[in-house]
């Protein structure tokens, strides 16, 4: 049944009770009740039958009431009633449970008869009608009538207030308490309990709300075997259970008897036709007995409570769905923002501090792209579990969307606590994730912002700080600082400019000479990409190549770089070599080899004058395919270099597996050379390694003469660095190539060149 129908039926019961409360005598109340019921269920006809006679009927032509058939239908022996001129109508009969054998009958044309939910609601209506009729019948004295009117009035009010609590979307627990409070007030009893079967363990019942139970006894009724006590029996037997003499009734709870409980009764509470709990009332009053009208009241109210509960649960569920993320079950952005707002207000009032952590997974897109969305989802759910396990119950972990999570820490005592949580989250993420049977490694970047007092937005600030953590190398956290905002905005601007740069071809190539260290002559030049930003001037590749890799734009840019570099190289004197950097994405291109072959043919560059530089990271990805492609490239006559060696995995495996010509020592290993204090061992090891594998070794980032001297001593073959020349544009390269001395250092300042010359002579 739809939620709409559920709430409609609860409301309908309340309305029904209100409607029949206004009737003054039994006969009109009966007729009014049947009329309303028939109307609500779109039934063509209806009747009330008691003790073998028809009390009232609606919908039949005057004088043509089918008495015999209605009595059969009342006994559930006639599922279908023929209505002349209308057709066959499905019948239903429900007891009024007013102490007499009265039953309400409805018959409806069309459809499959009455749905179980409808039977429920109809049962509730019949009970209310029975209660109203019973009261009208039994209480003939003025006082009794007034009392019963009051009772009906208050039953009505109680139900209405519970209904309104539900529509106000108060938490489920408050609805449960409203039910027990109302039952206590309705019956004037001191002790009330609402007990529910444990959904996780149907053999147990739990007290979900109570009043008047001494705190010492709350524990004993917290969770019990399903059949225990009066409430338990009502559940097991599915009917009203009354203990007029509590102590002497078998199966009651001895602790309560010892406290002096006199009488108790319990009515079952239903959900969709099955008993899910019971509503128990009890009294210490020595003269308390439960009259028939009291029993009716509890039964009716329990029925009411059943519908209200169903309603409340549905609302609760809908609310939960609206505020939680379906994939991870964590609060969503809306709920997080709501909690943050409250937390900020509270922090302001109580002068406390709070922190927001903004977590973004590193390279999550890669997982999604390579393993598929299902795997991505599985990973996110596991990340959510790990994060949720680390926070305190009072804190909030939410999924904001995509691979973004946020954590709200309230009552922060020290800034260090936020940092500590960030560290623990980063650690938790570093453990491998098993997704679809595969182990994958994921890291995260976290931004932290502190909040309280000032009206700024900690979530946005944490986002800025996260951005900084990302650009600061990932797998780390950063605290928000003023100024980050501007830096991030600048970066975002750059990103949007970049899209235009691709369209407008704002790229140029600069070239940096590579020098033969023994002779001092230029052996080749490395092409280095620059972005000529219309406002910012030259932008270095590190500021946009990672972005181009993420978006895939690097493939078309890289294609342009290759063609441009080869075209330029044809204008240089042979055998000068041009080195071109190839990104991982390019290496993954299936038609890379054909494309390069075609380009060499187009530009007419001798393949032996092209060198491709690759990093270990690029080789790592699908290395089987990489080996095949590189071998094909080698067969074309192209040279291959391993770039930035030493910074990655520095695996010997790569040196063996791939058909390489050149090993480039990364700048950090060159930095320490020649200073006296520096540790040349690593550079030396790499040079020797290169020699073992018969590779030409080129040192990157040579800035000082002393480094050059030491590299020559160590037997390094080539060098590149600001010492010789910074990368410069193509025209300057032409000038440099025309003017270059036989030995690069011959043109230098006397002191250093003398020293060098004597070194090389030695």
Cα–Cα distance for residue pair 413/347, rounded to 1 Å: 12
Strand partners, 642: 614, 663
The residue range among 96-104, 344-352, 414-422, 716-724 that interacts with ligand C2E, by the rule CB under 6 A, is: 716-724
Q: Does 44 bind Mg ion (CB under 5 A)?
A: no
Element (H, E) at 665: strand 662-665
Q: Does 546 bind ligand C2E (CB under 6 A)?
A: no
- Rule CB under 5 A: which of 660-719 touch Mg ion? 700
Single out the residue of 239, 350, 341, 217 nearest to residue 298, CA to CA: 239
Binding mask 567-586 for Mg ion (x = CB under 5 A): --------------x-----
Binding mask 179-218 for ligand C2E (x = CB under 6 A): ----------------------------------------
CA-based end-to-end distance of the chain: 96
Q: Does 513 bind ligand C2E (CB under 6 A)?
A: no
Structure tokens at 153: 């009035």
Whose Cβ is closer to Mg ion: residue 410's or residue 644's? Answer: 644
Binding mask 653-692 for ligand C2E (x = CB under 6 A): ----------------------------------------
**Of positions 191, 469, 561, 695, contacts ligand C2E by CB under 6 A:** 561
The residue range among 124-132, 310-318, 650-658, 694-702 that interacts with ligand C2E, by the rule CB under 6 A, is: 694-702
**Of positions 662, 727, 743, 745, contacts ligand C2E by CB under 6 A:** 727
Cα–Cα distance for residue pair 465/448, rounded to 1 Å: 6
Contact, 670 vs 702, CB < 8 A?
A: yes
Single out the residue of 106, 109, 67 nearest to residue 86, CA to CA: 109
**Of positions 268, 277, 718, 721, contacts ligand C2E by CB under 6 A:** 721
Q: Does 410 bind Mg ion (CB under 5 A)?
A: no
Give whole-number Cα distances, 40 to 46, 106, 301, in Å.
11, 11, 20
Cα–Cα distance for residue pair 707/674, rounded to 1 Å: 5
**Of positions 228, 294, 644, 717, contacts Mg ion by CB under 5 A:** 644
The residue range among 60-68, 84-92, 538-546, 590-598 that interacts with ligand C2E, by the rule CB under 6 A, is: 538-546
Cα–Cα distance for residue pair 182/192, rounded to 1 Å: 9
Contact, 196 vs 277, CB < 8 A?
A: yes
Q: Does 540 bind ligand C2E (CB under 6 A)?
A: yes
Whose Cβ is closer to ligand C2E: residue 260's or residue 540's? Answer: 540
Q: Which residues contact 420 (CB under 8 A, 6 or more apart)?
A: none
The residue range among 92-100, 219-227, 474-482, 644-652 that interacts with Mg ion, by the rule CB under 5 A, is: 644-652
Contact, 418 vs 461, CB < 8 A?
A: no
Q: Which residues contact 739 (CB under 8 A, 6 or more apart)?
A: none
352, with CB counted inside 10 A (0-12, 13-18, 19+), is middle
Least CB distance to ligand C2E at residue 685 (A): 20
Q: Does 616 bind Mg ion (CB under 5 A)?
A: no
By a kind-dependent CB cut-off of 5 to 8 A, residue 721 interacts, out of ligand C2E, Mg ion, none, with: ligand C2E
Q: Which residues contact 458 (CB under 8 A, 6 or more apart)?
A: 340, 344, 354, 355, 356, 449, 450, 451, 480
Q: Does 311 bind Mg ion (CB under 5 A)?
A: no
Whose Cβ is closer to Mg ion: residue 44's or residue 700's? Answer: 700
Whose Cβ is closer to Mg ion: residue 477's or residue 531's? Answer: 531
Give whole-number Cα distances, 671 to 68, 418, 616, 667, in Å.
108, 37, 21, 6
- Rule CB under 6 A: which of 473-512 touch ligand C2E? 512
Contact, 358 vs 406, CB < 8 A?
A: yes
Least CB distance to ligand C2E at residue 559 (A): 11
574, with CB counted inside 10 A (0-12, 13-18, 19+), is exposed
Q: Does 725 bind ligand C2E (CB under 6 A)?
A: no
Structure tokens at 258: 């010892």
Whose Cβ is closer to Mg ion: residue 60's or residue 560's? Answer: 560
The residue range among 32-40, 139-147, 462-470, 537-545 that interacts with ligand C2E, by the rule CB under 6 A, is: 537-545
Q: Does 593 bind ligand C2E (CB under 6 A)?
A: no
**Of positions 95, 348, 541, 678, contacts ligand C2E by CB under 6 A:** 541
Contact, 667 vs 661, CB < 8 A?
A: no
Q: Backbone dihedral region of 727: left (phi > 0), alpha (psi from -120 to 50 degrees) or beta?
A: beta
Whose Cβ is closer to ligand C2E: residue 391's or residue 728's? Answer: 728
By a kind-dependent CB cut-off of 5 to 8 A, residue 529 interacts, out of Mg ion, ligand C2E, none, with: ligand C2E
Least CB distance to Mg ion at residue 698 (A): 9
Q: Does 558 bind ligand C2E (CB under 6 A)?
A: yes
Whose Cβ is closer to ligand C2E: residue 409's or residue 642's? Answer: 642
Sign of the Cα torsion 598, 599, 603, 608 reads: negative
The residue range among 217-225, 453-461, 602-610, 698-706 that interacts with ligand C2E, by the rule CB under 6 A, is: 698-706
Least CB distance to ligand C2E at residue 510 (A): 7
Contact, 705 vs 752, CB < 8 A?
A: yes
Q: Does 311 bind ligand C2E (CB under 6 A)?
A: no
- Rule CB under 6 A: which of 616-655 touch ligand C2E? 643-644
Whose Cβ is closer to Mg ion: residue 616's or residue 700's? Answer: 700
Q: Does 512 bind Mg ion (CB under 5 A)?
A: no
- Rule CB under 5 A: which of 136-195 touch Mg ion? none
560, with CB counted inside 10 A (0-12, 13-18, 19+), is middle
Q: Does 66 bind ligand C2E (CB under 6 A)?
A: no
Number of residues that bind ligand C2E (CB under 6 A): 23
Q: Does 719 bind ligand C2E (CB under 6 A)?
A: no
The helices-and-strands tally (H runs, E runs) of the chain is 28, 28
Cα–Cα distance for residue pair 105/76, rounded to 1 Å: 9
Least CB distance to ligand C2E at residue 672 (A): 14
**Of positions 613, 654, 662, 687, contacts ligand C2E by CB under 6 A:** 613
Cα–Cα distance for residue pair 548/558, rounded to 1 Å: 10
Element (H, E) at 447: strand 444-451
**Of positions 306, 581, 684, 696, contacts ligand C2E by CB under 6 A:** 581
Q: Which residues contact 353 (CB under 8 A, 6 or more apart)?
A: 347, 411, 412, 413, 450, 451, 452
Q: Which residues contact 434 (CB under 8 A, 6 or more apart)?
A: 440
Whose Cβ is closer to Mg ion: residue 400's or residue 582's? Answer: 582
Q: Does 643 bind Mg ion (CB under 5 A)?
A: yes
Q: Does 331 bind ligand C2E (CB under 6 A)?
A: no
Whose Cβ is closer to ligand C2E: residue 29's or residue 610's? Answer: 610
Whose Cβ is closer to ligand C2E: residue 6's or residue 515's? Answer: 515
Interacting residue ranges for Mg ion, rule: CB under 5 A: 581, 613, 643-644, 700
Interacting residue ranges for ligand C2E, rule: CB under 6 A: 512, 528-529, 540-542, 545, 554, 558, 561, 581, 583, 613, 643-644, 700-703, 720-722, 727
């Amino acid at each position: 049944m739809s939620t709409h129908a559920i709430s409609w039926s609860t409301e309908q019961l309340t309305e029904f009770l209100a409607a029949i409360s206004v009737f003054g005598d039994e006969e009109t109340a009966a007729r009014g009740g049947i009329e309303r019921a028939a109307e609500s269920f779109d039934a063509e006809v209806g009747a009330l039958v008691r003790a073998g006679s028809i009390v009232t009927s609606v919908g039949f032509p005057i004088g043509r009431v089918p008495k015999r058939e209605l009595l059969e239908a009342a006994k559930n022996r006639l599922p279908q009633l023929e209505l002349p001129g209308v057709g066959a109508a499905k019948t239903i009969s429900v007891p009024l449970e007013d102490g007499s054998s009265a039953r309400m009958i409805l018959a409806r044309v069309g459809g499959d008869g009455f749905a179980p939910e409808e039977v429920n609601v109809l049962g509730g209506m019949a009970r209310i009608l029975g209660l109203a009729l019973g009261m009208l019948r039994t209480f003939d004295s003025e006082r009794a009538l007034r009392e019963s009117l009051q009772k009906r009035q208050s039953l009505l009010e109680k139900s209405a207030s519970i209904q309104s609590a539900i529509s106000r979307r108060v938490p489920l627990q408050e609805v449960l308490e409203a039910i027990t409070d109302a039952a206590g007030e309705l019956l004037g009893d001191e002790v009330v309990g609402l007990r529910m079967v444990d959904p996780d363990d149907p053999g147990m019942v739990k007290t979900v709300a109570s009043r008047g139970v001494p705190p010492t006894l709350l524990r004993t009724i917290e969770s019990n075997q399903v059949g225990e006590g009066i409430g338990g029996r009502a559940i097991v037997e599915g009917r009203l259970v009354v203990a007029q003499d509590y102590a002497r009734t078998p199966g009651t709870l001895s602790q309560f008897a010892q406290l002096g409980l006199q009488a108790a009764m319990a009515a079952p509470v239903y959900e969709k036709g099955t008993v899910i709990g019971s509503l128990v009332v009890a009294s210490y009053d020595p003269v308390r007995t439960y009259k028939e009208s009291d029993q009716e009241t509890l039964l009716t109210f329990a029925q009411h409570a059943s519908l209200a509960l169903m309603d409340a649960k549905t609302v609760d569920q809908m609310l939960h769905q609206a505020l939680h993320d379906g994939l991870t079950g964590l609060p969503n952005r809306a709920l997080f923002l709501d909690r943050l707002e409250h937390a900020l207000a509270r922090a302001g009032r109580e002068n406390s501090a709070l922190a927001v952590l903004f977590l973004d997974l590193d390279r999550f897109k890669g997982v999604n792209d390579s393993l598929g969305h299902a795997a991505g989802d599985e990973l996110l759910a596991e990340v959510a579990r790990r994060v949720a396990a680390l926070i305190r119950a009072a804190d909030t972990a939410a999924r904001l969307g995509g691979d973004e999570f946020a954590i709200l820490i309230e009552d922060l005592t020290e800034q260090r606590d936020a940092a500590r949580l960030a560290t623990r989250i980063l650690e938790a993420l570093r453990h491998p994730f098993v997704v679809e049977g595969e182990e994958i490694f994921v890291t995260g970047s976290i931004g932290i912002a502190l909040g309280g007092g000032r009206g700024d937005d900690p979530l946005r600030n944490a986002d800025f700080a996260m951005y900084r953590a990302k650009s600061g190398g990932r797998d780390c956290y950063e605290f928000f600082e003023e100024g980050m905002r501007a830096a991030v905005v600048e970066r975002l601007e750059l990103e949007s400019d970049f899209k235009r740069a691709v369209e407008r071809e704002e790229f140029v190539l600069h070239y940096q000479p590579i020098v033969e260290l023994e002779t001092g002559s230029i052996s080749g030049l490395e092409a280095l990409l620059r972005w000529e930003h219309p406002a910012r001037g030259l932008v270095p590749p590190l500021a946009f190549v990672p972005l181009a890799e993420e978006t895939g734009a690097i493939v078309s840019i890289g294609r342009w770089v290759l063609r441009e570099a080869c075209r330029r190289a044809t204008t240089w004197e042979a055998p000068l070599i041009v080195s071109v950097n190839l990104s991982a994405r390019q290496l993954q291109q299936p038609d890379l080899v054909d494309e390069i072959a075609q380009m060499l043919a187009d530009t007419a560059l001798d393949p032996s004058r092209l060198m491709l530089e690759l990093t270990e990271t690029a080789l790592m990805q699908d290395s089987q395919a990489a080996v095949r492609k590189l071998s094909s490239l080698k067969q074309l006559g192209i040279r291959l270099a391993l770039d930035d060696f030493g910074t990655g995995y520095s695996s010997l495996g790569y040196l063996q597996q791939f058909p390489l010509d050149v090993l480039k020592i990364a700048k950090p290993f060159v930095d320490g050379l020649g200073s006296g204090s520096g540790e040349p061992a690593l550079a030396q090891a790499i040079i020797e390694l290169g020699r073992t594998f018969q590779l030409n070794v080129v040192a990157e980032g040579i800035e000082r003469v002393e480094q050059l001297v030491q590299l020559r001593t160590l037997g390094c073959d080539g060098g590149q660095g600001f010492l010789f020349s910074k990368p410069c544009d193509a025209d300057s390269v032409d000038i440099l190539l025309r003017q270059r001395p036989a030995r690069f250092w011959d043109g230098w300042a006397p002191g250093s060149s003398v020293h060098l010359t004597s070194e090389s002579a030695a």
